[in-house]
Amino acid sequence: RVPKRQPLLEQEEIDTKWEFARDNLVLEGSLGEGEFGQVVQARAFGIDGRQEYKTVAVKMLKNYAAPCERQDLMSELNLLKDVNHPNVIRLLGCCTFAGPLYVIVEYCEDGSLLSFLRQSRLQEPSFENHRFRHRHHAGVRLLDSKSKIQILTIADLLSFAWQIARGMQYLSEMKLVHRDLAARNVLVASGKLLKISDFGLTRDVYEADTYLKKSKGRIPVKWLAPESLFARVYTTHSDVWSYGVVLWEICTLGAPPYPGIPPERLYNLLIGGYRMDRPEFCTDEMYAVMQKCWKLDSNDRPSFAELVDIFDGILEEKT
Which positions are annotated as active-site residues?
A: 180
Residue from 47, 57, 65, 290 in contact with ligand ACK (CB under 6 A): 57
Least separation in angstroms between residue 102's CB and ligand ACK is: 13
Interaction of residue 111 with ligand ACK, rule CB under 6 A: yes
Own/partner pairs, 304-309, CB within 8 angstroms, 24+ separation: 304/165, 304/168, 304/169, 304/172, 304/236, 304/239, 304/240, 304/243, 305/169, 307/161, 307/165, 307/168, 307/169, 307/240, 307/243, 308/162, 308/165, 308/166, 308/169
Residue closest to ligand ACK (Cβ):
32
**CB-based contact 20:93 (threshold 8 Å):** yes
Considering beta carbons, is residue 41 or 210 the nearer one to ligand ACK?
41
**CB-based contact 148:154 (threshold 8 Å):** no
Interaction of residue 117 with ligand ACK, rule CB under 6 A: no
Interaction of residue 126 with ligand ACK, rule CB under 6 A: no
Interaction of residue 32 with ligand ACK, rule CB under 6 A: yes
Interaction of residue 108 with ligand ACK, rule CB under 6 A: yes
Interaction of residue 187 with ligand ACK, rule CB under 6 A: yes
Q: Which of 173, 275, 165 is nearest to 225 (CA)?
A: 275
* Helices marked H in the chain: 6-18, 67-80, 113-120, 154-173, 226-231, 236-251, 263-271, 284-293, 304-318
Least separation in angstroms between residue 58's CB and ligand ACK is: 9
Interaction of residue 199 with ligand ACK, rule CB under 6 A: no
Residue from 112, 172, 235, 242 in contact with ligand ACK (CB under 6 A): 112
Considering beta carbons, is residue 116 or 258 the nearer one to ligand ACK?
116
Residue type, 253: L
Considering beta carbons, is residue 31 or 315 the nearer one to ligand ACK?
31
Binding-site string for ligand ACK from residue 34 to residue 53, where x marks contact by CB under 6 A and - marks none: -----x--------------
Least separation in angstroms between residue 115's CB and ligand ACK is: 3
Residue type, 129: N
Helix (H, G, I), strand (E, B) or coil at 270: helix
Instruction: Decide the pairing of beta strands 233-234 and 193-196.
Output: unpaired
Considering beta carbons, is residue 32 or 100 the nearer one to ligand ACK?
32
Kindly calculate the radius of gyration of the chain based on its CA atoms and give it in whole angstroms.
20
Considering beta carbons, is residue 236 or 252 the nearer one to ligand ACK?
252
Query: Which residues lie near ligand ACK (CB under 6 A)?
Result: 31-32, 39, 57, 105, 107-108, 111-112, 115, 187, 197
